[in-house]
Amino acid sequence: MIMSDRVTVSIIKADVGSVCGHSRPHPKMMESCREVLRDGLRAGTVNDFYVTRVGDDINLFMTHNRGENSKDVHGLAWEAFKAATKLAKEMKMYAAGQDILKDAFSGNVRGMGPGSAEMEFKERGAEPLIFFMADKTEPSAYSMPLSRVFMDPYTTTGLVIDPRAHVGFKFEIVDVIDSKKIVMSAPEESYDILSLLGDTTRYAIKRIWSKHDDIGIGAVISTDKLNLTAGKYVGKDDPVAIVRCQSGLPAVGEVLQPFMFPQLVAGWMRGSHYGAWFPCSVDNSDPTFFDGPPRVCALGMMISNGKFQGCEDPVHDVGVHRPIDFFAGSEWDGARAKAMKASIYMRQHGPFMPGILGPEEMEYTTRPAVLCKLKDRMENID
Ligand code: 13P
Ligand code: 13P
Ligand code: MG
Ligand code: MG
């Protein structure tokens, strides 16, 4: 195959089991993923990797030159998740192998359970990326913050004052019910874009590109399971997103700012509740209150000559990537407190909407069985 001079950044993620409910993968599972990726590095399948997690989801960050949907890269991730699943089963982890829906790999993780977000670009002089990872929610959770980042001048002043951001952005939006997609253009179609994205049960952003000639991709979100299951529900995705920043794209700070608002997102507890998503560090991403509240983490790294460049501790771990963990600091305590207040309020609805999701979105339901049982007692109203 022809290796591209463009770099591809891939996140492939899966929940293959966790300690004590849907909480945190065992460290041995994370290490077994690292071992498989180290082999992939030696074999030249990937240029670099970083393994992390949010809640119970293992996230594999990889760089390579094989383009999106590479069979080799997806196959490597699949092997890593299979190895972690084997350990999870041996250790009797909770929901071991949860996102491994198929037995045999068939060329791409799409449709097989794991989620993926990938972007390919020609490396600029500096390439800052933010990796968002969410647990207990769905891809459309990113619609509100990312439409603010790429469309709202009160969030991203760069849309007004940076000539390259000023030309605006294109959005690929997916309709998960009819399995359709459309590319729309902001700012001209902003209101039409929001008219779709406001329905978070049906529409989600897949990709955002700069409309400036030299820049290319700005953001990508994992929407795999939604596409797979259009019309039929098999669980929340716990989606990831990659956002490319600065120099004609929104600045890092502009990208992070909307997460100060802990919006209500779908997918908490049994995939069936609304809760306020809680910005936090990776270490603080264990779901601790009613299997949540839904978490979102933001990790910052550079892409440098096709590899990751984070920070490192020169004394202890030279060569080890250490992303900036943006939501770790006390600046985000206010948002976390608000998220807890809103989530506790939502819990007080018990099994009533809008504490629970609408009927077509519930991951668990007894409704058909209850209606079946009551069939003969149901009478017409005169
Ligand atoms: P510096 O002047 O620190 O490079 O910051 C520029 C910028 O865009 C900050 O958002
Ligand atoms: P996960 O999707 O994170 O596995 O959570 C499932 C669940 O139902 C938690 O209550
Ligand atoms: Mg789980
Ligand atoms: Mg999860």
Across the chain, mean pLDDT equals: 94
Whether the CB of 251 sits within 6 Å of ligand 1: yes
Domain span at residue 348 reads: 123-372
Q: Is the pLDDT of residue 321 over 90?
A: no
| 206 is a domain residue | yes
Specify the pLDDT at position 234: 54
Whether the CB of 56 sits within 6 Å of ligand 2: yes
Structure tokens at 5: 């001079």
Q: Do 95 and 193 reside in the same domain of the chain?
A: no
Q: Provide the residues around ligand 4 (an ion) whose CB is within 5 A.
A: 15, 55-57, 135, 238
pLDDT, mean of residues 229-240 = 66
> How many angstroms does the Cα of residue 148 sit away from the middle of ligand 2?
28
State the Cα–Cα distance between residues 264 and 277, nearest whole angstrom: 6
Q: Do 202 and 107 reside in the same domain of the chain?
A: no
Specify the pLDDT at position 362: 85
Instruction: Read off the amino acid at residue 352.
Output: F
Domain stop point among 69, 89, 117: 117
* Strands 295-304 and 278-279, bridge-based pairing: parallel
pLDDT, mean of residues 185-202 = 97
Among 157, 162, 246, residue to substitute to test ligand 1 (most atoms within 8 Å of Cβ): 246
Query: What is the pTM (predicted TM-score) of this model?
Result: 0.96
Tell me the CA distances in angstroms from 252 to 127, 174, 258, 352, one per residue in order. 11, 26, 11, 39
State the Cα–Cα distance between residues 128 and 360, nearest whole angstrom: 39
Q: Is the pLDDT of residue 236 over 90?
A: no
pLDDT, mean of residues 91-118 = 90
Q: Is the pLDDT of residue 225 over 70?
A: no
Specify the pLDDT at position 119: 98
Q: Is 54 helix (H, G, I), strand (E, B) or coil?
A: strand
pLDDT, mean of residues 264-279 = 96
Q: Is the pLDDT of residue 140 over 80?
A: yes
Give the number of domains in the chain: 2
Q: Do 53 and 112 reside in the same domain of the chain?
A: yes
Annotation says 236 is catalytic: yes
| 380 is a domain residue | no
56, 25 contact by CB (below 8 A): yes
**Of residues 102 and 135, more confidently modeled:** 135
Q: Provide the residues around ligand 3 (an ion) whose CB is within 5 A.
A: 15, 22, 56, 95
H-run or E-run covering 217: strand 217-221
Q: Do 162 and 58 reside in the same domain of the chain?
A: no
Q: Do 84 and 135 reside in the same domain of the chain?
A: no
Q: Is the pLDDT of residue 2 over 90?
A: no
pLDDT, mean of residues 262-284 = 96
Structure tokens at 165: 């951001």
Q: Do 206 and 337 reside in the same domain of the chain?
A: yes
Q: Do 183 and 285 reside in the same domain of the chain?
A: yes
Annotation says 317 is catalytic: no
Specify the pLDDT at position 230: 44
Please report which confidence band the pLDDT of residue 25 belongs to, taking 50, 70 and 90 as the band edges. Answer: very high
Q: Do 112 and 151 reside in the same domain of the chain?
A: no
134, 240 contact by CB (below 8 A): yes
Using CA positions, which residue lies closest to atom 5 of ligand 1?
251
Please report which confidence band the pLDDT of residue 226 belongs to, taking 50, 70 and 90 as the band edges. Answer: low
The DSSP symbol for 108 reads -
Burial class of residue 154 (count of CB atoms within 10 Å of its CB; 0-12, 13-18, 19+): exposed
Please report which confidence band the pLDDT of residue 228 belongs to, taking 50, 70 and 90 as the band edges. Answer: low
> Among 13, 136, 206, 236, which one carries the catalytic annotation?
236
